[in-house]
Amino acid sequence: MEEEQSPGAAGGGEHHFLQDVEVKKENPADEVAPEAEEEDEDSLPHSEVLDIFEEGLARLVQDPLLCDLPIQVTLEEVNSQIALEYGQAMTVKVVKADGEIMPIVVVQNATVLDLKKAICRFMELKQQREGGVKHVSWRYVWRTYHLVFQGEKLEDDTMRLKDYGIRNRDEVTFMKRLRKK
Whether 99 and 169 share a structural domain: yes
Is residue 141 assigned to a domain? yes
Q: How far apart are CA 41 and CA 35, in angstroms?
A: 10
CA neighbours closer than 13 Å in the CB half-sphere of residue 136:
19
Per the structure, the complete domain to which residue 160 belongs is given by 87-176
Give domain status of residue 181, yes or no: no
Cα separation, 150 vs 175, in Å, equals 12
What does each C-alpha distance from 8 to 4, 5, 15, 26 come to in angstroms? Answer: 12, 8, 10, 24
Q: Are residues 97 and 169 in the same domain?
A: yes
pLDDT in tens, 117-173: 999 999 999 888 888 777 889 999 999 999 999 999 999 999 999 999 999 999 999
Tens digit of pLDDT for each residue in 64-88?
Answer: 766 777 767 788 888 888 898 899 9
Q: What is the pLDDT of residue 106?
A: 96
Same domain, 95 and 69: no
Average pLDDT, the chain: 79
> CB-based contacts of 153: which residues, under 8 Å, 6+ apart?
146, 147, 175
Compute the distance between CA of residue 170 and CA of residue 149 in angstroms, rounded to an integer: 8
Q: Is residue 50 part of a domain?
A: yes
Query: Same domain for 92 and 66?
Result: no
Query: What CA–CA distance (Å, rounded) separates 62 from 71?
Result: 9
Q: Based on the structure, what is the number of domains in the chain?
A: 2
Same domain? For 65 and 92 the reply is no
- At residue 7, the pLDDT reads 46
Is position 38 within any domain?
A: yes
Domain of residue 123, CATH code: 3.10.20.90
Amino acid in position 43: S
Whether residue 3 is contained in a domain is answered as no
Structural domain includes residue 63: yes
